[in-house]
Amino acid sequence: MDQSLSKLTKAEEEVMQYIWDYGPATVSQLIEKMEDPKPPHSTISSIIRILESKGFVTHKTYGRTHEYYAAVDKKAYTRFSLKKLVSHYFEGSMNELVSFLVHENDLSLKDLEEIKNKFKS
pLDDT surpasses 50 at 4: yes
Q: What's the pTM?
A: 0.77
CA distance 13 to 35: 15
Pairing of strands 65-70, 57-62: antiparallel
pLDDT tens digit string along 73-114?
999 999 998 888 899 999 888 888 888 888 888 888 888 888
Residue (of 88, 79, 20, 104) closest to 30 by Cα position: 20
pLDDT tens digit string along 33-62?
999 999 999 999 999 999 999 999 999 999
